[in-house]
A and B are shown apart, each in its own frame.
Chain A
């Protein structure tokens, strides 16, 4: 429930992945009109651009620290944003990509502020997967698409649907669970191959994708075989895309539920 006597408010916006051109018109307008702007952006170029739109911009990157739990960092970021709203300001939190995908601070702040009776909202942004569909030229609606953070998938043992596209985010951190490094290991990548080989043959084509951060960059699109994954040069922004192994088929027992027959589909 919101309390209109509380002057402060929060709008979480996404700045997109590629510099300057992927922010929505409405998000840019909120950004320009805000009394206080906070952000978690990937580089200084992005920060300079946001500052040019609203000089009140303050980075929250300083709250990351060596040896400090990221959970605590996210809580500290949330509290900085919430306090500005409590101080009566119209606040914008600018996050790269989409503000609510693989990004918890916006969700935390909105939940907390709404609980305290403040206006708080999130506007959609251009996420890395939106760039991926455009750059790789496939429509996730054609076959279906499943997406996991790589280590989440590897540790949870969830089955894959081989008739759909598979996207594994942060493949460059596959199996990394220590919070102490931003790289994976050869052993972890070999284990990843063994797990993926439960569903895909070793010579199945995989794609490494990286969206461009600045407009003079091209997207990284490297095609290779599953067995060669441990030899690939991975970064913290590498995404593994696995095309389908099989096509979707009509299922007779499912069609029976609708009183339909396979022959109805020619």
Chain B
């Protein structure tokens, strides 16, 4: 896992880190070791870029149902 990936995962499970991030996002990301590109992507809410930097090659299908699967 990259540092960014570890940070995002930790952010989802660590209440203190999450509160620190909400209060001082840049300082918290710097303290976690994120680089300038990663911090910029998060700061600008560019989620596609955040995922790309975290090694994510793109979204998987999230469509789970189609009308042909319903009992109509």
CB of B70 closer than 8 Å to a CB of A: yes
Q: How far is the CA of A41 from the CA of B56 in the complex (A)?
A: 12
Please classify the interface of chain A as helix (H, G, I), strand (E, B), loop, or mixed, using the class held by over half of its residues: loop
CB-CB contacts below 8 Å: B35-70 with A: 42, 45, 47, 50-51, 54-57, 59-70
Give the Cβ gap from A236 to chain B, nearest Cβ, in Å. Answer: 5
CB of A67 closer than 8 Å to a CB of B: no
CB-CB contacts below 8 Å: A119-169 with B: 149, 151-152, 155-156, 169
Do A43 and B8 have beta carbons less than 8 Å apart?
no
CB of A71 closer than 8 Å to a CB of B: yes
A43-B51, A70-B69, A152-B67 are known contacts. Are A236 and B11 too (CB-CB below 8 A)? no
By size class, the interface of chain A is 35 or more
By size class, the interface of chain B is 20 to 34
Chain A residues, Cβ within 8 Å of B47: 213-214, 216-217
Which has the most chain A C-beta neighbours within 10 Å: B1, B13, B56, B64? B64
Chain A residues, Cβ within 8 Å of B54: 44-45
Do A42 and B8 have beta carbons less than 8 Å apart?
no
CB of B31 closer than 8 Å to a CB of A: no
Do A216 and B67 have beta carbons less than 8 Å apart?
no
CB of A78 closer than 8 Å to a CB of B: no
CB of A199 closer than 8 Å to a CB of B: no
CB within 8 A of A42: which of B5, B59, B67?
A: B59
A45-B5, A155-B72 are known contacts. Are A19 and B63 too (CB-CB below 8 A)? no
Among residues of A, the one whose C-beta sits closest to the C-beta of B14 is: A21
A and B contact pairs by CB, cutoff 8 A, 11 listed: A19-B11, A42-B62, A43-B51, A43-B59, A48-B9, A49-B5, A52-B9, A71-B69, A152-B70, A216-B11, A216-B45
Give the B-binding residues of A (Cβ under 8 A): 18-22, 41-45, 48-49, 52, 61, 64, 70-71, 102-104, 149, 151-152, 155-156, 169-170, 173, 176-177, 179, 182, 213-218, 236-237
Give the A-binding residues of B (Cβ under 8 A): 1, 5, 8-13, 18, 21, 42, 45, 47, 50-51, 54-57, 59-70, 72
Known: A45-B51, A48-B9, A169-B65. 8 other contacts (CB 8 A): A20-B8, A20-B12, A45-B9, A49-B9, A64-B61, A156-B70, A236-B61, A237-B62
